[in-house]
Amino acid sequence: MSTNSQRHIFLAIGWVFTGLGFVGVILPLLPTTPFLLVAVWAFSKSSPKLRRWLFTHPRFGHHLRNWFDQRAISRQAKIVSVSFMALSVGFSLLISENLYVIVSLAVIMVATATFILTRPTPSAVAIKSQ
């Protein structure tokens, strides 16, 4: 596969995941940040300009930079993420009669929340530079 073909594939991946990320802002079932992380990765292989655009985006840029620079998640993002996960499990308790679905969802949410909560928060130096 030629370098030009690979670049086009990574551009397509970047745009698809950017679109999914922006749709995730509107639809609560789609997570925004993981899709944008994939988009940044794809754009880093195909378009420095589009990568820079995501890193400097007024709403999402600081979250993306925190992750790529420090593997860190802000305290506010942790609170929002874990709160919505708890709401999702609670809502599933109300609407689902299948215990296996509820337990499976709860296990996945606890594992994901544990991952999120064990990530560091951004350092003060990185926050000041944003």
Question: For position 127, what pLDDT does the model report?
Answer: 52
Instruction: Give the domain-ending residue among 55, 70, 85.
Output: 70
76 and 95 in a single domain? The answer is yes
109 and 97 in a single domain? The answer is yes
38 and 54 in a single domain? The answer is yes
Instruction: Give the domain-ending residue among 70, 95, 110.
Output: 70
In degrees rounded to 5, what are phi and psi of residue 74?
Answer: -65, 155
Range of the domain at 115: 72-130
Question: For position 3, what pLDDT does the model report?
Answer: 86
pLDDT digits (tens, 9 = 90+) for 46-94: 999 999 999 999 999 999 999 999 999 999 989 988 998 899 889 988 9
63 and 5 in a single domain? The answer is yes
5 and 65 in a single domain? The answer is yes
Distance of CA 10 to the CA centre of its chain: 18
In degrees rounded to 5, what are phi and psi of residue 57?
Answer: -60, 135
